[in-house]
Amino acid sequence: MTNRIRTLSPSTNKVIFEHPGTSLDQVRGIVQASQDAFRTFKELCLEERKLIVVKALDIIDANKETLAQELSLQMGRPISYTAGEITTMRKRADYLLGIADDSLKTIPGQPEGGFKRFVKKEPVGPVLLATAWNYPYLITINALVPALLAGNSVILRPSPQTPLFGERLVSYFNQAGLPTNVLQLIHTGSLDVLDEIAKLPQIKLVSFVGSTAGGIRLRQATASRIVPLNLELGGKDPAYVRADADLAYVAAQVVDGAVFNSGQSCCSIERVYVHADVHDAFVAEVQKELQTYKLGNPMDRTTTTGPVISQQAVKNIQAQIADALAKGAVDATPHNATFDAPPPDGNYLAPKVLTNVSHEMLVMREETFGPVLPIMMVSGDDEAVARMNSSDYGLTASVWTKDIQAGEALIERIEAGTVFINRCDYPSPDLAWIGWKNSGMGCSLGPQGFDAFYKLKSFHIREKQG
C-alpha cells in the first residue's frame, strides 16, 4: 500500500515531481489539526471568510501565467488554453461568492405569537476534498469555495498527476490570511490509502471527483458510518445531430467537444448519433474540421491537441479503437501531417474518427477519456433518444438542431443531469452540475452549490414558561 508519488510529464515522460506520500500516521495528525482549526474557523463571520477567499483568488490571478505553465507541464493541455482554466475558475468563484449570503442564510419558520422558530445552516466539519487532474483548478474551486465560506476546514488531496497545483493553492490561501490548518494538503498515490483516510471519524464529508470506480470504492469505504459523499464521476456523453442541423457549424462544435483537452473531460462528447439523411455529409464536415487541428508539444502555442495523461491511457484508448475496428468499425480519420508525426517521447495519440459503429463495441459503452469520435447513423429522433439513454452514465447530452421547439421536446426525454441544445461541454456556474446514474451523487455549482457543505439545525423556542 505505497503512498509514493512520482509524477511524469505526459509530454516527455520525465519525472517532474516526487514525494514519499503522506503516511497514515501523518494523516491522522493532519485530520486532528483540521478538527481543531474547524472549532475556531466556524466562528469567523461570513464576510471575513469572503475577504480571505477573494484575496486568495487575487493572488492566483497575479500568478496566472506561471500556473498555466505548470499546468501544461503536469497534465499536457496546450499552453494556449491553460490560462483560460484559471480565468474560468475565477468566474465560478465570483458566482459562488455572490450567492453565499443567500445560500447560507437562516430560514425562518412560520410566525406564531410566543414562539421563535428557524433553521440554521451549520458547517459540517473537516471536509476531505479529493480532486482530479484534468481540470484541477475548476474542479477544486467548485467545492473549496463553498466549503470554506460555509465555515468548514478542508483537507485537500490533489491528484498525484497535478501535485504542484495543490502546493500552490494551499500556499496562496495561507498567504491570503486563512487561519492555520484550515486548509491542509496531503499527497497520496494510493486509492487504498485514500479509502483509509475517508474512514477516519473526524472526516465529516467526502467530496470526490474522479472515476466511477473510485466513487464506488469510497462508498464502500464509508459504508460502516454515516458520512455524506459528494461524487462527480465519469461520463459517456452523447450528441445527436438532427437532419435540419447546420452541419459545418455543428461539426466544428462537436469536434471541439470531443477533442478539446485531448478528450479528457467527464463531459466530453464520446458518442455521436447522426440522422441517416445527413450522416455522410456530417462525417465529411468532421473530417474537414480535423484537418485544421495540430497535434504536438503543449508548450507550442500553435498546438491544439497535446498528449493524453499516461502510457496506460494510451493503451486503454487504443484497446477500445482496436475492439471497434475488429467488430466492423471504419477508421474515417482524415489525413493530417501532425497526426502521423507526433513528438517522439510523450503520450501522443492522434484524434480518431470511427464510423459504422455499434453498441456492441466498447467505444460506445465504456468511458474512453481520449480524443476518439465514434459516429453512428440513426433513423430519427426516437432511435436517437433510445441510443442516448442506453448507457450506465448520465452526465451531459446535447441535441443539435435549428428547430428549438423540437429540440426542447427531445432533451426532456434524455436521461442526463445537464442537457444542451446547440452547445456542449460547458458547466455553467449558475446551473447545478449533477450526474445521473453512475455519473455522480450530489451536485456542485448553481443555487445548490453550497448544499453539501452545511447541515441543518432547527431551533424551536417558546419564549415564556407557563
User: Which three cell numbers, joined as nine digits, stand for 401?
Assistant: 438542431
Is the pLDDT score of 82 beyond 60?
yes
Residue 425: per-residue pLDDT: 86
Contact between 248 and 285 (Cβ < 8 Å): yes
Task: Return d(Cα 127, Cα 137) in angstroms, integer.
Answer: 18
Beta bridge partners, 120, equal: 457
Superfamily of domain 238-421: Aldehyde Dehydrogenase; Chain A, domain 2 (3.40.309.10)
353-376 residue pLDDT tens: 999 999 999 999 999 999 999 999
89-148 residue pLDDT tens: 999 999 999 999 999 999 999 999 999 999 999 999 999 999 999 999 999 999 999 999
CA angle 127, 132, 137 (to 5 degrees): 80
For the chain, what percent of residues have pLDDT higher than 90? 98
Residue 466: per-residue pLDDT: 76
Angle in degrees, 0-180, between the axes of helices 46-62 and 79-104, rounded to the nearest 10: 170
Q: What is the CATH number of domain 4-233+439-462?
A: 3.40.605.10
Under the banding of pLDDT at 50, 70 and 90, the label for residue 450 is: very high
Each domain of the chain, given as residue ranges in start order, spans: 4-233+439-462, 238-421
Query: Percentages helix, strand, coil for the chain, rounded to the nearest 5?
Result: 40, 20, 40
- Residue 464, SS3? coil
Contact between 371 and 351 (Cβ < 8 Å): yes
Residue 127: per-residue pLDDT: 98
| Catalytic residue (one of 65, 70, 85, 232) | 232
18 is catalytic: no
- Mean pLDDT for 451-457 is 98
Residue 43: per-residue pLDDT: 97
Is the pLDDT score of 1 beyond 80?
no
Query: Which of the 8 DSSP states describes residue 221?
Result: H
User: Which three cell numbers, joined as nine digits, stand for 8?
Assistant: 511524469
What ranges in 267-411 are assigned the alpha helix state H? 279-290, 311-326, 337-340, 381-389, 404-411
Task: Return d(Cα 322, Cα 275) in angstroms, integer.
Answer: 26
- Mean pLDDT for 455-463 is 97
User: Which three cell numbers, joined as nine digits, stand for 188?
Assistant: 497520496
- Largest interatomic CA distance in the chain: 88
- Residue 301, SS3? coil
Residues contacting 155, CB < 8 A, separation 6+: 30, 31, 34, 126, 127, 128, 129, 184, 185, 186, 197, 203
8-47 residue pLDDT tens: 999 999 999 999 999 999 999 999 999 999 999 999 999 9
Is the pLDDT score of 392 beyond 80?
yes
User: Which three cell numbers, joined as nine digits, stand for 50?
Assistant: 469572503
Is the pLDDT score of 320 beyond 90?
yes
Q: Whose CA is closest to 175, among 44, 60, 85, 64?
A: 60
Under the banding of pLDDT at 50, 70 and 90, the label for residue 3 is: confident
